Amino acid sequence: AAERIAAAGMQPPNPSTHEWNYVERARLSHTDAPPSVAAAAWLDDGTLVEAGYAEQPEQAGAAAAAAGGGAPPCRVLRTWRLSSDHSSSTPPPAVSVARYYDGRGEARLDDGAGDVSALAAADGLVVVTHNPLDLTRPPPHLGSGFTDVWRAVPSQSGDASAPPELAPLRRLREHTAPLYACAIGGGLIATGGDDNTVRLWPAGTEAERVYWLALTDVAVALGRIGLQRYSAAFDAAGYLDLESLQRMDASQRAEVAKATGMKHGHARKFEKYGLDASAPSYYGYSRWSNDAGASLQTLQLPGKVWALALDCHLLVAGGALSADGEGGHICVMLFDVARLAAGRGAATALRTLRAQSHARQWGVRSVATHGGTAVVAGGGGGGGGAFRGTRPTL
């Protein structure tokens, strides 16, 4: 253990505080990535997903200025591919960007609208929660949150070392207040927020995963601009070569749109911009499935939900919970979701864990779970705790 600690450049823990002294292994930077990061999570051992903010592309910014308004920032998702060696001689990490355009600060909010509030990634999926602006509500004017689900697909570059690109799958809408937590694991997605509920959704099937990995380059490109519904028509009409489609001029693209039966509005955009997902006209255009389906189950909690974790069919939920009805404690609630994930029943409450707190109003801000141990942070004063149980009953 001492050798591994030394090799990682870490110092042994302080005997009095048991705190580790970590050292920076890598600093990620990109021309499209100003220092404004909202959330990050590991998708796999070598891929990091990060959600943040960026300036609009030059074309979109110019269009906004011409319309008499400012240039609101874009929400962006980035996937980074990192090597295990982060020495100074290592080439910089590769990055792939999936851009939102939402018109922050405007009353009209379209695709990707709203502040990023939480992010989770696992099993080839990326889950991001958003809180859209709603000027009819009291400050901070946040409306009912929603959740976007993305599928990580191989890079179109053909480079196996390139980071995956993100294709939109579906948008989940049921919550009636802002969202601040999400988690994915065990075939489920969990979302929670200020409506005092946790909603559990199917993460997707193996057939869906195989389908996305088997998509042609043309189908993936169509998915990026919200025209995935025409994938079969492109295939049937013989438009299978992505490079040929990208080289077409407007008149040739008009012929393609006609041959594949595009609706008038879709055809006009495709004729003008082709498969360029960065074109301003595609911002604000919904690429999300309207057939996302209903949640599998809604868990009613005794307070706002600000932190979620899923592992081994165990769900840990924390926030401004007050299950004991008394002061001086923060608490998290544990649920067994195995039967729900298997389609054989509902999620059931296991127990509520409580810890002393000097400032319960701060609530639980972060939870994690692994191997039957739940780690909880929050409650003010830097407090936290670890609770150990035996799966599956804890």
Measured CA distances, 292 to 146, 147, 180, 197 (Å): 12, 11, 20, 19
DSSP category for residue 87:
S
Per-residue CA distances from 81 to 35, 48, 235, 239 (Å): 19, 7, 31, 31
Phi, psi of 234 (to 5 degrees): -60, -40
> Per-residue pLDDT averaged across 70-92, rounded?
67
Of 20-24, 91-95, 178-182, 366-370, the least confident = 20-24
pLDDT score, position 97: 74
Rounded (5°) CA angle 386-391-394:
55
The residue-averaged pLDDT of 337-357 equals 86
- Alpha carbons 310 and 109: distance in angstroms, whole number: 31
The greatest distance separating any two alpha carbons of the chain, rounded to the nearest whole angstrom, comes to 73
pLDDT tens digits for range 151-193: 888 776 767 788 888 877 888 999 999 999 999 988 899 999 9
Cβ atoms of 374 and 324 within 8 Å: the answer is: no
The whole-number pLDDT of residue 112 equals 41
Band of the pLDDT at 352, cuts 50, 70, 90? confident
- Tens-place pLDDT, residues 36-71: 788 899 998 889 998 887 766 554 445 555 555 555
Half-sphere exposure of 12 (CA within 13 A, CB side): 5
pLDDT for res 189: 95
Confidence of residue 204 (pLDDT cuts 50, 70, 90): confident
Which range among 257-261, 311-315, 383-387 shows the weakest confidence by mean pLDDT? 383-387
The answer to whether 224 touches 97, Cβ cutoff 8 Å, is no
pLDDT of residue 217: 75
**Among residues 32, 16, 76, 20, which one has the least CA distance to residue 50?**
76
Assess whether pLDDT exceeds 50 at residue 376. yes
For residue 288, what pLDDT is reported?
53
pLDDT at 207: 54
Q: Which residues contact 71 (CB under 8 A, 6 or more apart)?
A: 55, 56, 60, 61, 64, 65
DSSP H stretches of helix in 8-75: 58-66
What's the pLDDT score for residue 370?
A: 79
Which residues are registered as beta bridge partners of 308?
Answer: 317
| Contacts with 293 (C-beta within 8 Å, 6 or more apart), sequence order | 170, 201, 202
Which H/E stretch holds residue 24? none
- pLDDT at 337 exceeding the cut of 70: yes
Q: What is the pLDDT of residue 300?
A: 93
- If you average pLDDT over every residue of the chain, what do you get? 75
Question: Mean pLDDT, to the nearest integer, of 299-320?
Answer: 89
- Cα–Cα distance for residue pair 391/373, rounded to 1 Å: 9
Distance CA 391, CA 369 (A): 12
Of 237, 233, 226, nearest to 266 (Cα)?
Answer: 226
Average pLDDT over residues 284-306: 73
Each residue's pLDDT tens digit, 207-259? 565 555 556 678 777 866 767 778 888 888 888 888 889 889 999 999 999 99
Instruction: Kindly report the length of the chain.
Output: 394
Tell me the pLDDT band of 372, cut-offs 50, 70 and 90. Answer: confident
Share above pLDDT 90 across residues of the chain, in percent, rounded to a whole number: 22
Percent of the chain with pLDDT over 70: 64
Residue 6 has pLDDT above 80, yes or no: no
Q: In terms of Cα–Cα distance, which of 274, 294, 292 is closest to 282? A: 274
Burial of 243 (0-12, 13-18, 19+ CB in 10 A): exposed
Model pTM greater than 0.85? no
Cβ neighbours of residue 389 under 8 Å, at least 6 residues apart?
334, 372, 373, 374
Vertex 336 angle, CA 351 and 127, to 5°: 115
d(CA 181, CA 187): 17
Tens-digit pLDDT profile for residues 123-148: 889 999 989 888 888 888 888 999 98
The pLDDT tens digits of the residues spanning 102-129 come to: 433 222 233 445 688 999 999 889 999 9
